[in-house]
Amino acid sequence: NLQEYFRGIPKAPKHVIDISHWLNQTGGAAQSVFPRVKNSGNGHFIGGNEAHAWLKLTAPEAKEPVHLRVPHELLPQAEVIWKAVRPEGVEGKLQLTSAFLKGALELKDAAKAEIPVEIDSEAKLRLVQCTYDQLETEVLKGQDIHAATRQLSNQSEIIRTYYEAKEQLRRNNRLAERAPKKSALLEAAALRKVGLAAEFGGQALEYFGQLREVYETYPEARRLIEETAQAIEEQVRSKEAQELDQQLGLYNEGMDVLGWIRNPASMPSKEYLSSSAVSQSLIGLTQLANYFISL
């Protein structure tokens, strides 16, 4: 039948029409109205509720290319983004797709970025949305982003890009509802393939690096960190804390937590960060933020 025939067509052929949206769900009979086929340069138009084109993502080290489906009128912008990205050390589909997604997220308006094609915030959002959706459905295929990237050298960058895109789509009501992913670790433990152990050790000075990493990687945790850090700073500036500080010198380097996160060069001395008056509240914040992103 027609559906089986078109499934056999290879990816990104010279001319392709996706007739799935023109097939009746009951009998599979093609309706009389079809989209007009056009050559779109890098990619090629396909049918559906919205005409799309294929953008070929590849890199010198890549084992195989990724054919990214983008709105056909945004193909020139997508091509410009990919040329500007120029990823290095990229091998797999996850890295290629993430590299393009990162380029779309970081794209400024055409005037500032000196882009030779017109692109506005709506167009940028549509490119982010289609790339994120394909990353979820065709690359990750239900796998958790942390598990999928655990052996990649740029794991942190990919995870940060993934959550930046997710947060941007959520803010604009463009995030598709999906069932929450199951923990690969907990599933393996349930099947007795791995063992779980809890370790309660000291945080030492690593806690602030962990806090900065959570803040930079997970946009949804930023509000929690920002509001808690502000509350801590207000407590340090309270009358009671100031009187105690004059006697004991507990906060002589301040408590500008957000400033330290955003500008590592402004961080106070290790001795100051390890003092109980400072570390107690900040270790608590770090643990709270780690718990928040695990939910």
Please report the domains of the chain, with CATH numbers, ordered by start residue.
52-172 (1.20.1050.120), 198-294 (no CATH)
Q: What is the pLDDT of residue 89?
A: 80
Residue 138: name the closest of 30, 59, 218, 57 by CA: 57
pLDDT tens string, the chain, 295 residues long: the values are 444 544 554 444 444 444 344 333 333 333 333 333 344 345 545 445 568 899 999 888 888 899 999 998 899 889 988 988 878 888 899 999 999 999 999 876 444 445 555 678 888 899 999 999 999 999 999 888 998 999 998 899 999 999 999 999 999 998 877 766 777 778 888 999 999 887 665 556 688 999 999 999 999 999 999 999 999 999 998 998 888 888 888 888 999 999 999 999 999 998 999 998 899 899 999 999 998 988 7
Q: What is the pLDDT of residue 87?
A: 82
Whether pTM exceeds 0.75: no
Q: What is the pLDDT of residue 115?
A: 54
Give backbone dihedrals phi and psi of 272, rounded to 5 degrees, phi first: -65, -45
Q: Are 135 and 101 in contact (CB under 8 A)?
A: yes
CA distance 144 to 140: 7
**Residue 93 half-sphere exposure toward CB, CA atoms < 13 A:** 16
CA distance 127 to 97: 12
Q: What is the pLDDT of residue 233?
A: 93
